[in-house]
Structure 1
Amino acid sequence: MEEVLASGFWFGAVMAFLHTPYDGSKQPFSVGLEPAGEAEWLETDEAFLPQLARKQDLLASARETVFQAKEDTVDAQREVLDLVVSNLRSRPDAYPDWSGGLPVLRHENGEAVFAGGPGEPELLTASRFIQEDLVLMRKSDAGYYLAAACLCFPSSWSLADKFGQSMHGIHEHVPDFNTGRMGQVVARIFQNLQTSQLLARYNWSIYDTLELHHPKPKSLSPQILDGSLASLGALFIRVERQTLRRLPGSGDILFTIKIHHDPISQLQRDPRGCALVGSLREQLLGLSADQLAYKGLMPFRDALASALSRMAAAESEALA
């Protein structure tokens, strides 16, 4: 581990750029689901401790903001906790210590931390142990709706605004979701998803903050409009890794959402640096006006593309 950013998140050669959905292998604003295995369902990386600590802070100070659940989701929440516990039991790298059937995380002095209190909702307890956020979607006559969630690290959307809404309402502002093919594809996937299936998908955006709790619309700093290479120094590629699976008991669909924050400046240190810079620029330039507006990038596209061109040129010169 080579450096600690001001917010306390670690970044080094191992952690950065684990997932690069902007590398040309996937198209923005597409479903892009792919099979995943149980072993990689939950991810643990170098941000494990600070991200769990940030969750702890949010659950203590803003619980109503980050946790909501319908009263009739108790059994489904228990299913989620059981799944998380079962997965973590096979992950001694994350939790070598267990007590009362639940994992225990300890400080170096041996003090247990991140433990839930008596009577705590089990979806919330499950979320305390993992970097992922957890969202339960339940079927109704009007389609699937958001029935429960522990959402500590939203990417510019609010649980309070979306709780109880249908997929149509949740994605109201996503370009082409409700008016194009994407919403129809998602509806068919939800209808046909089997309990034996575990699927994953990715999306990306660009932020100028490392804060993971981001419920408000994103607005980048105007300083990046100069298009200079230096302007990229304060920017991060925020990658969401989402998984979905059907719970065998309730039939609800469980989403997990894991956030990766990669400094754009570190692209130069990745072996794929030139290629990743180029593909990020191409995807940025390929976004429609509506897609750019949704990502909060409309005023910044040309400046970002110019800065990325400068980065690619500098890297090519360094390799020559």
Structure 2
Amino acid sequence: MIYSYAAFGLFVVAILAASRYGLKAWRPKAIPSSHSRDEKARYSAESRPETVEAGAQSKLNWKDVEPVKFRPFKSTYYITMALQASAPSELILIDNNYEERVLERRKTMENHKSTVMGAIPAGHDAVRELYSFLLAEYLPGRHPSMFSLEQDGSVFRNHVTNQTFSTTPPADPLEAFKVIGETVEDDVFLLKETDEGHLSVAFLCCHPAGFDPSTKLGKLLKDIHEPVPSYEKIGPSMERFFRKVKAGQFVKRLNWSITTQNKLFTPSGTHIYEKDAFQVDEKVDIDQVRLRVELQTLTRLPKTGAVIFPFKTYLYPLKDVKDEGLGPQLVEAIEGLQKGNAPGMFKYKGAVRWGRDVCEYLKASG
């Protein structure tokens, strides 16, 4: 997968077309713990997303919700990607991997704090706004069977992990990110506009795909995207759209890649950069190879005006794709990385290393 900051670039041209789908800002009222079970169930039903992709979220028991099977690969790769308008209810999707994922994220933040989270002073207020929105409004309102407010709304309770946190954000943005990181499994980047362009001001990224997110903090978009093939085709359009995106307007896209590691925290080993040495057609362990897909969203925080880019990562064994009869389509998509308007993606995404073994497996019978 293109690393997640680079994925900003893939939003742009299609986003410009999708910008007409602005949605009204969604500010759900949190459900007090004193409400009856029927009242909570009725509220949850009213808050259900409308799309097929998010349909599983309508179930009240998160343990019954299977991860969505996204298969977004196309026969030819284009750096301009199709987008869809998204509903606020799709901002945070939860499935039966939730508990395992958030506990894993807690360990990742403890062991790799400087890599997976950071903020410069210009981003502190945006981190606090995101914290307040998620804990005091969005999560208790959208998933009341999992999260609730207590003590007149001053305390947030996670009923899955049995953790409680104040709904008032910590003064330290990294402490705020730590709470967010063990409450939702989505990663997020925050940007603010400057005279020179949009600046990366804060990030929480426990699931980096082949890059160290800490090296991107405090950089402009054009500098963040410097290694990305054909970025110059979309850079100016991206800046224009980021200036225009409104609070309450949500767009989404899917980004896919192949990774040879069965891990979510992979800050290296995915991409091949200009001066990197690499082995062509290396032998890979197919059992460890995954189709990696990110469900990405873009919107703006209303108070601070920061642009937020949250995304959830899915890992699918190749066997699943093959068993679904989609092996030939994925092979075509891998080969299609050399076509389209950004042929450098075939090397950049590492297909020169793993492409032979992966395609042979997907083509083989049985």
Band of TM-score, shorter chain = 0.7 to 0.9
Q: Which of the residues 340, 353, 356 maps onto 1:299? A: 353
Q: Distance in 1 between matches of 2:290 and 2:205?
A: 21
What letter matches 1:45 in structure 2?
A: D
| Separation in structure 2 between the aligned mates of residue 115 and residue 90 of structure 1, nearest angstrom | 16
CA contact (8 A) 2:77 2:336 kept: no
- Cα distance in 2 between the residues matched to 1:306 and 1:61: 37
1:31-50 correspondence runs (5 A): 31-50=81-100
The question of 1:287 aligning with 2:341 is answered no
2:147–2:156 contact (8 Å) kept in structure 1: no
Give, in whole Å, the separation in 2 of the partners of 1:266 and 1:197.
34
Determine if contact 2:120/2:217 at 8 Å carries over to the other structure.
no
Q: Which residue of 1 is the match for residue 19 of structure 2?
A: none
Partner of 1:317: none
Contact 1:114–1:128 at 8 Å: present in 2 too?
A: no
For the Cα contact (< 8 Å) 1:137–1:253, is it kept in 2?
yes
Q: Could you tell me the TM-score, scaled by structure 2's length? A: 0.70
Please state how far the C-alpha of 1:126 moved relative to its aligned partner: 2.5
Looking at structure 2, the residues matched to 258 and 114 of structure 1 have their Cα atoms a distance apart, in angstroms, of: 23
Kindly provide the CA deviation profile for residues 143-171 of structure 1, in whole angstroms up to 9, marking residues without a partner as x.
Answer: 00110011111111112211111111111
* 8 Å CA contact retained: 1:66, 1:150: yes
Matches within 5 A, 1:55-134: 55-85=105-135, 86-92=137-143, 95-99=146-150, 100-107=154-161, 112-113=162-163, 119-121=171-173, 122-134=176-188
1:71 Cα deviation from its structure 2 partner: 1.8
Runs of 4+ aligned residues of structure 1 deviating over 6 Å after TM superposition are 219-222
1:219-278 CA deviation, whole Å, 9 max, x = no partner? Answer: 7998x8569xxx633311011111110111111100102110001111244xxx22x322
Aligned to 2:102: 52
| Rounded Cα–Cα distance in structure 2 between residues aligned with 1:92 and 1:42 | 10
In structure 1, what is the Cα distance between the partners aligned to 2:354 and 2:241? 35
Residues 27-73 of structure 1, C-alpha deviations (whole Å, 9 max, x = no match): 45334332110111111122211111111112222222211111232
In structure 1, C-alpha distance between the alignment counterparts of 2:81 and 2:334, rounded to whole Å:
18
Aligned-partner Cα distance in 2 for 1:212–1:94: 27
Task: Determine the C-alpha separation between the residues in 2 that align with 1:297 and 1:169.
Answer: 24
The residue type equivalent to 2:260 in the other structure is: D
Query: Which aligned pairs between 1:197-276 and structure 2 lie closer than 5 A?
Result: 197-218=249-270, 232-269=286-323, 273-274=324-325, 276=326
Structure 1: where are the runs of 5+ without partners?
1-11, 315-320
For 2:344, what is the secondary structure of its paired residue? helix
Task: Sort the Cα spacing of 1:64 and 1:115 in 2 relative to 1 into closer, same or farther, 3 A.
Answer: farther
Match of 2:28 in 1: none
* Superposition deviation, residue 302 in structure 1: 3.3
Structure 2 equivalent of residue 4 of structure 1: none
Counterparts in 2 of 1:295 and 1:209: CA distance versus 1, 3 Å: same
Aligned to 1:175: 229
Confirm or deny that 1:18 pairs with 2:18: no
Structure 2 counterpart of 1:92, one-letter code: H
Distance 1:268 1:304 in 2: 11
2-side partners of 1:174 and 1:299: how far apart? 18
Q: Deviations over 1:100-122 (max 9, x none)?
A: 33232445xxxx34858965423
Structure 1 segment 150-161 matched on structure 2, within 5 A: 150-161=204-215
Q: Give the share of equivalent positions with the same residue, in percent.
A: 22
In structure 1, distance between residues paired with 2:241 and 2:183: 28
Gaps of 5+ in 2: 1-62, 273-277
Which residue of the other structure, out of 233, 237, 261, is the alignment partner of 1:185? 237
Using CA pairs below 8 Å that are at least 6 residues apart, which structure has the higher relative contact order? 2
Q: RMSD of the TM alignment (CA)?
A: 3.0
CA distance in 2, matches of 1:114, 1:292: 46
Contact 1:17 1:262 survives alignment (8 Å): no
Mapped partners of 2:227, 2:213: distance in 1: 15
1:265 to 1:154, Cα distance in 2 relative to 1, 3 A: same
TM-score (norm 1): 0.79
Total equivalences in the alignment: 287
Match of 1:318 in 2: none
